[in-house]
Structure 1
Amino acid sequence: MRLENKVALVTGSSQGIGRGIALRLAQEGADIILHGRDEDALAQETEQQIRAEGGRVCFIEADLSQVASCRRLVSEGVARMGRIDILINNAGAQKNAGFLDTSEQDYDLILNVNLRAAFFVAQTYVQHLVDRGEKKGCIINNSSVHEELPFPNFTSYCASKGGLKLMMRNLAIELAPLGIRVNNVAPGAIETPINAALMNQPEVLARLLENIPASRLGQPRDVAGAVAFLASADADYITGTTLYVDGGLLWNYSEQ
């Protein structure tokens, strides 16, 4: 198991891609700090599954739109699990709204959760590594193909993911002397609850699949496998890069 004796914090891990990442890292031997705004039934099921397979796990509630909660998430995770070796910034928010219809409240929520939270959770995590004298660490941000690809009616979301891309590249350089690697994974169209509406529109789904050379939607396990690789020693010489997990979507995508 590639992540044995490691502790991983996965934000936004009560469902969807985050849940898939948490389960995969646990299978690789890591102890897991789960996170969500509420400890719902699915979060409890995830905890039980990890424990049943012999892993250590805890769940921490935190509203990542608040910087104080970002810092508390890390400090409480350290208090409960002893340390954090791997940080997965997965929590995210999005809203379908035209540019002229986007409210200040929606803009703030999306930028705060997708970009500001990733910054301050990472900052607190890095301070933890420095305080414990650790010259090794790993930050993986769950970004999106929309760090690169325009997405009409999702301008705030695209801005947050574009910012996350440059934040990752900058931190990779700044934190390299501390032995900390920083990378993004960028999923394309993944079959998760956030895409439930898409699943119920066969014509829209068919047009999307025409743009994906792999001819299918991705699954959380596809992203989780990429994260497990980047978190492992197999990726020790990889930093400052985005790994696209999109079935080839970016090759020639067009809105229809």
Structure 2
Amino acid sequence: MSLTPNKVVCITGASRGIGRACALEFAKQGASGLILHYLGDAETEQEVQALTAEVKALGAHVIAVPGDIAALETSKQIVARGVEAFGRIDVLVSNVGICPFADFLAMPLETWERTRQVNLDGTFYIVQAVAQQMSTQVPQGGSLIAISSISGLLGGAQQCHYGPTKAAITNLMQNCAVALGKYGIRANAVLPGTIATDINKEDLKNDAKREYMVNRTLLGRLGNPEDIAGPVVFLASNLARYMTGSSIIVDGGLFVNFQ
């Protein structure tokens, strides 16, 4: 049985990592339309073309929309083109995020501003734009899912810019759940632990750091993007129809491993 049959799903940052894994899983679970956002440079252009071919082979229709998520106009374009192609949006996965690791005392203001603009401002823009569409479409409603992080609950010496944006994203979804419930819109957050993606590829090249992070988990391995895609699809499905304002930690047990 498919979990998301005939759903129209919008995913930001879909060309790689968690976004890519979510796109493929939604297609496998019966989604009929996918709106795939990507940055739009040469590298992500190639990535999204390859992903589009894979998704189409699974039976879903696809449109791809480029743009910097930190720009308000990008979110407007994503929604406009998605509705033009499919008539509605049932699910949003707000996934775009950056983490240029930096020491707090030496962090340039530009690093703080860009991280906030992409992670928090971009999330707000796309969540609001999709929610406005969901509140007016017939039938009304939908599922908003934001990819946050356990970094919003914990500290990291080189994440004094990143962690606060993720804490804010988790709280944003809680507030959106309160604001949007009357429209039949559910809002939830997924908080990954250490997932092997491009966001931490350079950091995890340090063998000692990688071994430490693996040992912190209870399952003895780092996460992969597919580990996050499953919970995301669950939140989008009718199996989670009574879940809103929730925050799901998906980290292999890292957060609870105090000792």
TM-score (ref. length: structure 1): 0.95
How do 1:1-256 and structure 2 match up within 5 A?
1-30=2-31, 31-38=33-40, 39-252=44-257
SS at match of 1:101: coil
Counterpart code for 1:67 = L
Counterpart code for 1:212 = T
SS at match of 2:75: helix
Shift of 1:133: 4.1
Task: Pick closer, same or farther for the CA change 1:60–1:241 going to 2, 3 Å.
Answer: same
Range with bigger deviation, 207-216 or 194-203: 194-203
Count of residues in Structure 1 that have an aligned counterpart in Structure 2: 254
Per-residue Cα deviation, 1:60-118 (whole angstroms, up to 9, x for no partner):
10111111222222112211232211011001111111222222222121111111111
Range with bigger deviation, 198-207 or 152-161: 198-207
Shift of 1:169: 0.8
Counterpart code for 2:178 = I
SS at match of 2:239: helix
Deviating 4+ runs (over 4 angstroms): none
Alpha-carbon distance in structure 1 between the residues aligned to 2:83 and 2:112: 31
TM-score (ref. length: structure 2): 0.94
Task: Flag structure 2 segments of 5+ consecutive residues without an equivalent.
Answer: none
Task: Flag structure 1 segments of 5+ consecutive residues without an equivalent.
Answer: none
Cα contact 2:69–2:118 (8 A) shared by 1: yes
Task: Pick closer, same or farther for the CA change 1:253–1:198 going to 2, 3 Å.
Answer: farther
Cα contact 2:134–2:185 (8 A) shared by 1: no
Counterpart code for 1:220 = P
Shift of 1:196: 2.0
Range with bigger deviation, 133-142 or 198-207: 198-207
Counterpart code for 2:13 = G
Shift of 1:214: 0.8
Alpha-carbon distance in structure 1 between the residues aligned to 2:170 and 2:198: 24
Cα contact 2:213–2:222 (8 A) shared by 1: no
Counterpart code for 1:18 = G
Counterpart code for 2:51 = T
Cα contact 2:135–2:185 (8 A) shared by 1: no
Alpha-carbon distance in structure 2 between the residues aligned to 1:18 and 1:144: 14
Counterpart code for 2:81 = E
Alpha-carbon distance in structure 2 between the residues aligned to 1:193 and 1:169: 28
Shift of 1:253: 5.2
Shift of 1:129: 1.9
Alpha-carbon distance in structure 2 between the residues aligned to 1:232 and 1:16: 21
Identity %: 34
SS at match of 1:215: coil
SS at match of 1:88: strand
